Structure formats: structure tokens, C-alpha cells
Amino acid sequence: MQRTDKIFRLVCLLCALPAALLLPGMLLQLLSNSAEAWHTFGLSFLWSSEWDPAAGKYGAWPGIAGTLLTTATALVPAVPLAFSAALLLTEVPSWLAKPLSHAVDLLAAIPSVIYGMWGLFVLAPLMQEHVQPLLARLPGSTLLLGEDNSGFGFLTAGLILALMILPYMCAIMRDVISMTPPMLREAAYGVGCTCLETTRDIVLRHGLRGIIGGIFIGLGRALGETMAVLFVVGNIMEPPAGLCSCGTTIAATLANNFAEADGLQRSALFALGLVLVVMSVGIQAGAQYYLRLTGAKRGETI
Amino acid sequence: MTRRPPYFRKACNALLGLLSLISIVLAIGCMAWVLCTVCARGFSVLSADFLTSPCKPYGEEGAGIGNALVGTLLITGGAALLAVPPAMAAGIYMAEYGNGSRWAAFLRSAANIMMGLPSILIGLFVYVIIVVPAGHFSGLAGTVALAVIMFPIIMRTTEDMLNMVPPALRESALALGMTRMRATLCILTRAAKNGLATGVLLALARVSGETAPLLFTAMFAYSSPSGYFREPTANLPVLINEYTMNSPFESMHEIGWGAALVISIIILTVNIITRILFREQSR
């Protein structure tokens, strides 16, 4: 009797081990495969913006800067949208909230390649014809926006990413908002606060850490998203010149070049992968920290 | 403290309500927009022929998505076979044996971090551990990549679901003299079976649309997926990428939209049905 139990426990433990082993394995593999690139370029690989396969020169800066820019562009609209949507979903009666939150959750179910197609065939022409001419009329816009007017670029990619990360952030924020003790909330209403004031002074204060955690989860998603960005970012190996200019991100670079690369270029691509792993593990660790403080569930489980 | 007139505060409050309304309408409207585009453009090419005939390079008549559909089913089905048993066992370990221990907390964080890793990196990882040693791309490598993505998701849902089983049930099973193993396998998993099924199905729906990890593992082929173990294998997400992103031809774009419609229908059906079933049973 006891023996089968011990064996069962051992088997279960063995099955749980890959979770712990995968990350170190991945780091090790990326490190060993990118050794050549680090050896050749040193740390200056990180801020060199040259990417010239013919001359054998590679730098990570176009990818890193592009990744940061698309992520930032995605977060600016997505955070307020996700928060206000989550607020509405917690305030309305449950017969309305349930279908609405399921609908928002379905946004996360649509595969990223379909967002990419939609961006390529619908959003990019729209940006080119209507939005970018409008933006170009703003004073000083060439500095901010770059001179491209193709419809592709960081702004388009960021908008699609915003749509893609919204459901994840919204789900976590919903959890966090509904965890505010009802007593605190009712007390605020009791002294005459409006809904806005209750939200600002009670809900936001109480759930701030969970909300930051939710933002981190969205950040991690946006950082590593490949397909949707690949379709609309333009894929040229140059650091961003402006919001509407074409460029690349780390994930898009990997997807585009990895299959044909060999030698030093492949090693440089592995080095880019290493940079992406480090960035996203850092962000996930931040998300873990904040979400554990509040005890909120991650948005990915049901 | 400055006193603000009540109508100002009311106006601000109304503004917040309006903003919330706008944001939810925007989110759901954009989803509807995406889905409507896919339906509108994909519906015209959809036919029985389209679903069964294999995809072809540009210029050949009568191209379809038959081989890619079978390839996707093979790759995701294989991933489920590969990932579900160990992931469930891992979840059982976390819920039944790992209560409050630091080791379990560490494993939990590791799984959470794994869930957030960009899927293209998992493709890269599987490329190095499977494609390079084997010397060729294969559907099997794609299966492994998807299994790696599914593993932490199912592990965490299993743990959450088992933790939701009332402790009294666990204790009564043990009090009847069952071993821990029997109590877990016969009583607890049965009590939590709806939740477990939901977790597995949602994870499956999620990975079946993943493209990035398949780019360097299963890759793409025009052949039928008989070479699942040895050759690049056709699959829907990479087909969409090949036919839209990497092709300038209108006729190929149409096939891409058709494939997008098929994969969306599959994923959304699984998603919605799972959610409805789970909602009804959890009442």
C-alpha cells in the first residue's frame, strides 16, 4: 500500500520536473549557440545598429529598440482601455457582465496569425489612407512619426498588439477589482463618493499592485508576440526613425531570418533570442512578484 | 481642501462611465470586425473541394487546404497526447503533495514564467534539441514545440482545479482507507473532471493557432502529411503565413483567408462550447 503511494508520488514529481528544467535548459542552449556572436562582437552587439550579412556585421539595436517601441505603443492605449473595460465588467449586473467578459476573453482566443492578416489587409491600408496623412499634418510630425507613409510600421503593429494584450490585462484587472473588500467600497459610497472617486481612491489604491502585475503580463505578451508584428512592422533591419516608420522587432527578426541563416548570422540570431529571453523572464518575474502580493490569478487559466 | 460643486463631480463620473462603455464597445467591436473580415473574405472560397484537396504552389488550379488541415490535427493531437499525461501528473503533484512547500512554490513560479515565454523562443529551443540532432524538419518537432507550450498551462489548471475540490472529499476518501494514489485518481480527478477537461480543451484551442513555434519545426510542405516523422509537415497556421505574408498573388491570399476562416471556426467552436459546458456544470 505505502509503496505504490511512494512510487506515485515519485512519478508525479518526475513529471513536474520539466517545468523547472526547461528555463535553465533554454538559457544554456541559447548561450552556447550564441557564443560565437558574443565572442566576435562583445557586448557592443547590444547597441550596434548595423545588420549587414554581406559584411558579416550584426547588431541587436534595431531589434531591441523596435521591440521596446512596439511594446510601448501597445501599452499606451491598452492599459486605460483594459482598466476601464474591467471596471465596467465589475460594475454592471452579472447577467450582462458574463457574456461581455466571455466576449472579451474570446479576443485572446483568436490566433495571432489572423490578427496579422487583418492588420496586413485591413488595418495597414486604412492607416495609409486615412490616419497617417492626418498625423502628418500635425506640426513637428516628421520628427515623431518618420517619413514613411506606407501604412506599415510601429504604430500599426502597436495598435494590433494593444488589441491582442487587452483581454489578458482586462481579465487580471477584473479579478483584482473584484477583490477590493466590499466594506471599503460601500464605506466610500456611504460618505458620498461618486463611482469615479471610489475607483480612484479606493479600488486603485487597494489593487494597485495587482494592476501593475496585470500590466506586466500584458507587457510580456506584447514583447514576444511574433506573427501579428511580423505582418505589419515592415521588416527592415534599421532602428526606428519614428512611430510610423518601418522596422523590426526581435521576434520578427528571428521568424524572418532564422530558417535561412547559418554561421555567424545564426549565432547572432541566437544572441537576439537570448536578449528576448532575458527581457521576458525579467518581466514575468516582475508580474509574479506583484500578482503574488495580491493573490490574483493569472489571466490565462479559466 | 477645495470644494467642488456636485455637478462637476457628477460630470466627471459620467465621463468615466462613458469611457468604460467606449472601451468595451471598442474591444468587442474590433473582435467583431476581425471575425467579420475573416468570414466575409474566407466564405467565398469555402467548399468541400477546398477542404479536401491539398495545397499547391502558385499557378496550379484547384488548390485547397486538405493536407494542412490533416497536418494541423496530427500536430495538435500529438501535442495533446504528449503533454496531457505528464502535465496532469505534475498538477497532481503540486496540488496533493506540494502544499505550502518552497519547492512547490518554486515549481509554480517556473511554470508561470514558462507560460509567459514568447512562443517563438520555444520554437527555437525545440529546433536545437530535435531538428538539429535529427537533421531534418518534421511534424514531430512541431508537436513537441506545442506540447512544451501546453505543459505549463495544463499543469497550472490541473492544480487550480484540484485545489477547488472540497477538502472533506479528500479526507473522507483517505478515511475509508484508500491510498493517496487511489484517492487522487478515483475520487479527486473525478470530482474535478469538468474543470480538467475545460483546461485541456482551452489549452488545445490555444496552441492549435500558434504559428511562431512551428516556423522552424514543422515548417511547411505541399505534400500530404505522411512524412510526419521525417519531413516538413503542412499545417494551417504556417500555410496562412506562407500564402498571405510571403506571397504577392491575389489567388493565394484567397486561400489564406479560407484557411483563416477554417482555423478560426475550429478554435472558436472549441472555446465557446467548452465555456458553455463548463458554465452549466459549475452552477
Quote the pLDDT of residue A245. 84
DSSP strand pairing (A51-52 vs A57-58):
antiparallel
Q: Is residue B132 part of a domain?
A: yes
Report how far Cα A118 is from the mean position of its chain's Cα atoms.
19
Instruction: Determine the angle formed by the axes of helices A263-294 and B119-126, rounding to 10 degrees.
Output: 130
Quote the pLDDT of residue A280. 93
Q: What mean pLDDT comes out for the span B16-35?
A: 93
Yes or no: domain A58-294 corresponds to CATH 3.30.465.10: no
Indicate the average pLDDT of chain B.
88
Confidence grade of residue B62 (pLDDT, cut at 50, 70, 90) = confident
The amino acid present at B27, given as its one-letter code, is A
Residue among B203, B275, B115, B279 at smallest CA distance from A103: B275
Q: Is residue B2 part of a domain?
A: no
The answer, yes or no, to whether residue B1 has pLDDT greater than 60, is: no
**Which stretch of DSSP H or E encloses residue B145?**
helix B139-164
Using CB atoms and an 8 Å cut-off, which of residues 2-31 of chain A contact chain B?
2, 4-5, 8-9, 11-13, 15-16, 18-20, 22-23, 25-26, 29-30
**Interchain contact A189–B (C-beta under 8 A):** no
- Cell 527581457, residue located: A279
Nearest CA in chain A to B95: A12
Residues 6+ apart with CB under 8 A from A158: A69, A70, A71, A72, A73, A74, A76, A77
**Interchain contact B257–A (C-beta under 8 A):** yes
Residues 6+ apart with CB under 8 A from B90: A12, A15, A16, A18, A19, B107, B111, B151, B155, B158
Q: What is the rounded CA–CA span in Å between residue B237 and residue B145?
A: 14
- Do A283 and B30 count as a contact with CB atoms less than 8 A apart? no
How many domains does chain B fold into?
A: 1
Which residues in chain A are closer than 8 Å to B279, comparing Cβ atoms? 98
- Do A22 and B114 count as a contact with CB atoms less than 8 A apart? yes
Which residues in chain A are closer than 8 Å to B119, comparing Cβ atoms? 224, 226
- Do A113 and B241 count as a contact with CB atoms less than 8 A apart? yes
What are the angstrom distances between the C-alpha of B51 and each of B20, B62, B235? 42, 11, 13
- Say which CATH number the domain at B163 has: 1.10.3720.10
Which residues in chain A are closer than 8 Å to B121, comparing Cβ atoms? 26, 224, 273, 276-277, 280
Question: What's the gap in Å between the CA of B28 and the closest CA on chain A?
Answer: 6
Q: Is residue B137 part of a domain?
A: yes
Q: Is residue B191 part of a domain?
A: yes
**Interchain contact A55–B (C-beta under 8 A):** no
Q: Is residue B98 part of a domain?
A: yes
Q: Is residue B164 part of a domain?
A: yes
Question: What's the gap in Å between the CA of B25 and the closest CA on chain A?
Answer: 9
Instruction: Tell me the ipTM for this assembly.
Output: 0.90
- Do B20 and A88 count as a contact with CB atoms less than 8 A apart? yes
Which among B112, B184, B209 has CB closest to A111?
A: B209
Confidence grade of residue B2 (pLDDT, cut at 50, 70, 90) = low
Beta strands (DSSP E) in chain B are none
**Interchain contact A278–B (C-beta under 8 A):** no
DSSP-H helix ranges across chain A = 2-41, 61-91, 94-109, 112-118, 124-126, 132-136, 141-145, 154-178, 182-190, 195-198, 204-224, 227-232, 250-257, 263-294
Using CB atoms and an 8 Å cut-off, which of residues 218-257 of chain A contact chain B?
220-221, 223-227, 230-231, 251, 254-255
Which residues in chain B are closer than 8 Å to A91, comparing Cβ atoms? 20
Which residues in chain B are closer than 8 Å to A297, comparing Cβ atoms? 160
Using CB atoms and an 8 Å cut-off, which of residues 165-184 of chain B contact chain A?
179-181, 184
Output the DSSP codes for A195-224.
HHHHIIIIIHHHHHHHHHHHHHHHHHHHHH
**Interchain contact A121–B (C-beta under 8 A):** yes
Residues B80-93 have pLDDT tens digits of: 999 999 999 999 99
Confidence grade of residue B37 (pLDDT, cut at 50, 70, 90) = very high
Residue among A227, A209, A217 at smallest CA distance from B237: A227
Nearest CA in chain A to B203: A301
Which among A81, A102, A276 has CB closest to B26?
A: A81
Quote the pLDDT of residue A302. 37
Using CB atoms and an 8 Å cut-off, which of residues 131-160 of chain B contact chain A?
148, 151-153, 155-157, 160
Q: pLDDT (tens digit, 0 to 9) for every residue of chain A, 302 residues total?
A: 578 888 988 999 899 898 889 999 999 999 999 999 999 898 888 988 888 888 888 889 999 999 999 999 999 999 999 999 999 998 888 889 888 988 888 888 999 999 999 999 999 999 888 888 787 777 766 666 666 677 888 999 999 999 999 999 999 999 888 888 889 889 999 998 888 888 888 888 888 888 999 999 999 999 989 999 999 988 888 888 888 888 899 999 999 888 888 888 999 999 999 999 999 999 999 988 888 877 655 544 43
Question: What's the gap in Å between the CA of B85 and the closest CA on chain A?
Answer: 9
Residue among A214, A195, A185 at smallest CA distance from A82: A214
Q: What is the rounded CA–CA span in Å between residue B104 and residue A20?
A: 10
**A236 with A50: CB under 8 angstroms?**
no
Q: What is the rounded CA–CA span in Å between residue B273 and residue B62?
A: 33
- Do B205 and A103 count as a contact with CB atoms less than 8 A apart? no
Residues B92-150 have pLDDT tens digits of: 999 888 877 888 888 988 999 999 899 999 999 999 999 989 888 889 999 999 999 99
Which among B26, B121, B245 has CB closest to A120?
A: B245
Quote the pLDDT of residue B259. 92
Q: Supply the range of the domain harboring residue B223.
A: 82-233
- Do B24 and A85 count as a contact with CB atoms less than 8 A apart? yes
Nearest CA in chain A to B122: A26
- The x, y and z cell numbers of residue A193, run together, are 463618493
**A38 with A271: CB under 8 angstroms?**
yes
Quote the pLDDT of residue B283. 42
**Which stretch of DSSP H or E encloses residue B277?**
helix B250-281
- Do A30 and B124 count as a contact with CB atoms less than 8 A apart? yes
Q: Is residue B222 part of a domain?
A: yes
The answer, yes or no, to whether residue B254 has pLDDT greater than 60, is: yes
Nearest CA in chain B to A108: B206
The amino acid present at A164, given as its one-letter code, is M
**Which stretch of DSSP H or E encloses residue B254?**
helix B250-281
- Do A16 and B155 count as a contact with CB atoms less than 8 A apart? yes
Q: Is residue B29 part of a domain?
A: no
**Interchain contact B276–A (C-beta under 8 A):** no
Question: What's the gap in Å between the CA of B221 and the closest CA on chain A?
Answer: 14
Which residues in chain B are closer than 8 Å to A105, comparing Cβ atoms? 275
